[in-house]
Amino acid sequence: MATLSGVLIGGCLTVNNTVAQDLAHDRLARCRRFPSVMLRSLAPDGSMIVVLSGVAAVSEYPAWRDCMDEALAEQRQQGKLPSGAQPTIVAVTENR
């Protein structure tokens, strides 16, 4: 029984995000008003892959990038990340 409860407790542990991932999530939350841009993956260094979906992506993606750049600039200004940090964003188009 002790072994089973140890396995259950251990299975509930989660891996914490890196600081770069937390900052990326903050930027994503700020710019979530663009439904055609969705996060696919987020690397420990804050780099991300996003999926562009639907015809609205043509106009929404540039606006989303502007929003993300503004949020990144604010994070730099607040001293939350180094001035030279430029997390990579790779956009892929979803085939439907």
pLDDT along the chain (96 residues), means of 10: 44 75 96 96 95 94 97 93 84 82
Of 67, 76, 72, whose CA–CA distance to 31 is shortest?
Answer: 67
> Which pLDDT value is given to residue 96?
59
Query: What pLDDT does 2 receive?
Result: 47
Distance separating alpha carbons of residues 9 and 2, to the nearest angstrom? 11
Give the model's pLDDT for residue 6.
43
Which two three-digit tokens encode residue 96? Answer: 């439907």
pTM for this predicted structure: 0.80
Helix axes 19-30, 57-77, angle to 10 degrees: 130
- Return the pLDDT at 13: 53
